[in-house]
Structure 1
Amino acid sequence: MSEHPEVTVAPVQAFEPPYYVAVFTTVSSEEQDGYAETSARMQELVQEVPGFLGMDHAGTPGGLSVTAAYFRDADALTEWRGNAEHREAQKRGRAEWYQSYTLHIAKVERSHAFTRAEATLAPEAG
């Protein structure tokens, strides 16, 4: 039996470089009132930014969270950074939701992907 959940999950596809990635790593504080709603709104809002390519997210039970958001160009990233609603969410995050965070912005120069084809897997030997 597989240890992986039945839910279909996949990383954001590999895009033709160059493009940009913003990697936001947080440690949650105990105060999380309103966080889930604001996070969902930010996920909706970022998708409206021309040049937004996608987002990967992972978290641990201990409160560490990593979000990687991909953007076609620096202008798209700048538009997201300057969005008024996003700026307000950032302020609230620093005041309430995050114990600490880091933000890394990088230009992606190489990108590739792999997906295992289920049909090519050999049956288990018995």
Structure 2
Amino acid sequence: MSDHPEAPVAPVEAFEPPYYVAVFTTVRTDEQSGYRETNARMEDLVKDVPGFLGTDHAQTPGGLGITVGYFRDADALAQWRSDAEHRAAQERGRADWYRSYTLHVAKVERSHGFVRGDTGQSPSAG
């Protein structure tokens, strides 16, 4: 879940804790047939899970991909984990698309954010 050239460059907002995160870190293989389509389908499908809050994605130039999924509670995360289409995509990922991956699930106890306000100055202003 890391091919997002059209995605806005902004992190998912900070939510009132507690909530859960699933951090999926991958290195992909050269075989990527069907990956983009499946990835797009998973992004659409997870949005239907009650309690899904959002997803952040990052990709390093060296090929490390990181996807963080945010869920209101453990039940929402469990629903996503057990979704039949998601399970099938996981199997395909292990068979074809991923050289390696890790999954970390954590309960968030503290969260805050920052957004720079418009100061009315031009980008070159000091």
TM-score (norm 1): 0.89
Q: Look up the SS of the partner of 2:68 in the other structure.
A: strand
CA distance in 2, matches of 1:114, 1:120: 18
CA 1:119–1:110 in 2, change beyond 3 Å: closer, same or farther? same
CA distance in 1, matches of 2:29, 2:112: 35
1:32 aligns with 2:35: no
Task: Please tell me whether Structure 1 or Structure 2 has the larger radius of gyration of its CA atoms.
Answer: 1
Following superposition, the deviation at residue 118 of structure 1 comes to: 2.4
TM-score (norm 2): 0.89
Equivalent in the alignment of 1:76? 76
Following superposition, the deviation at residue 121 of structure 1 comes to: 5.3
CA 1:118–1:39 in 2, change beyond 3 Å: closer, same or farther? same
The answer for unaligned runs of 5 or more in structure 2 is 1-6
CA RMSD of aligned residues (A): 1.6
Equivalent in the alignment of 2:3? none
Between the aligned residues of both structures, percent identity stands at 67
CA distance in 2, matches of 1:8, 1:72: 22
CA distance in 1, matches of 2:8, 2:90: 30
Q: Which amino acid counterpart does residue 44 of structure 2 have in structure 1?
A: E
Following superposition, the deviation at residue 36 of structure 1 comes to: 0.4
How many residue pairs get aligned? The number is 119
